[in-house]
Amino acid sequence: MPVQRLNHAVLFVRDLERSVAFYREALGFTVVMGMPGAAFLQASGSTNDHDLGLFEVGAQAGPSGAGRSTVGLYHLAWEVDTLEELERIAATLGGLGALAGASDHSTTKALYAKDPDGLEFEVSWIVPADLLTEEVLAGRTSIKPLDLAKEKERYGARTRGGLGVSIPVP
């Protein structure tokens, strides 16, 4: 049986409390279990045991060199249901000073942000399969700045993303 989806991610962080507070405020995660030096968080609406594990390594930890001087994970990507939700998260991340960029990948509308340790993550909305026109598919090889107002006008603020792509059609 092939892999179906990512179940959870685990990150090493300098300060557990600071990181838990960030993921709560930025993405609405809740703590479902904890132990000394570790916390397990769940995304709103998730049925996973946990979606994110955080393990504290302490203030002495150096910055990640991944992509600059070492191999390593570039970023994690979380998917939201609507462009309205993507816009709300963009505002929250901007208010936290964590928003690092926003891109239109044609089939995916993406925000990029950094957590308190500088670890990058993506929050994205995926164009549903029934709206993947030839024009949209042809644009996959280019990256443009994200214009959320234009995309909400094009697809609808509350159109459920990912249907038939990352989410099975009921």
Per-residue pLDDT at 3 exceeds 80: no
**Residue-level pLDDT at 1:** 63
Instruction: Place 34 in a pLDDT band, splitting at 50, 70 and 90.
Output: very high
Phi, psi of 55 (to 5 degrees): -120, 125
Q: Which residue has the tokens 């792509």?
A: 165
pLDDT reported for residue 7:
87
Buried-exposed string 8-47: b where 16+ CB fall within 10 A, e elsewhere = beebebbbbeebbebbeebbbbeeeeeeeeebbbbbeebe
Q: Average pLDDT of 115-119?
A: 95
Nearest to 51 by CA among 59, 35, 40: 40
Residue 89's pLDDT is what? 97
Measured distance CA(121)–CA(66) in Å, rounded: 13
Q: 42-49 long-range contacts, Cβ below 8 Å, gap at least 24?
A: 43/78, 48/7, 48/8, 49/8
**Tens-digit pLDDT profile for residues 49-66:** 999 999 999 999 998 888
What pLDDT, in 10s, does the model give residues 68-95?
999 998 999 999 999 999 999 999 999 9
List the chain domain ranges.
7-58, 74-170
CA distance 108 to 127: 6
pLDDT classification of 6: cutoffs 50, 70, 90: confident
**pLDDT exceeds 70 at position 118:** yes
Distance CA 28, CA 32 (A): 13
CATH number for region 7-58:
3.10.180.10
Supply the pLDDT for residue 87: 98
Distance CA 97, CA 139 (A): 30
User: Of 58, 51, 5, 14, whose CA–CA distance to 31 is shortest?
Assistant: 51
8: left (phi over 0), alpha (psi -120 to 50) or beta: beta
- What does the block give as tokens for 52? 């994110």
What integer pLDDT is reported at residue 120 of this predicted model? 94
User: Could you report the per-residue pLDDT of 88-109, keeping only the tens digit for each?
Assistant: 999 999 999 999 999 999 999 9
In this predicted structure, what is the pLDDT of residue 129? 94
141-170, pLDDT tens digit by residue? 899 999 999 999 999 999 999 988 888 887
The pTM assigned to this predicted structure is: 0.92
Q: Which CATH architecture has domain 74-170?
A: 2-Layer Sandwich (3.30)
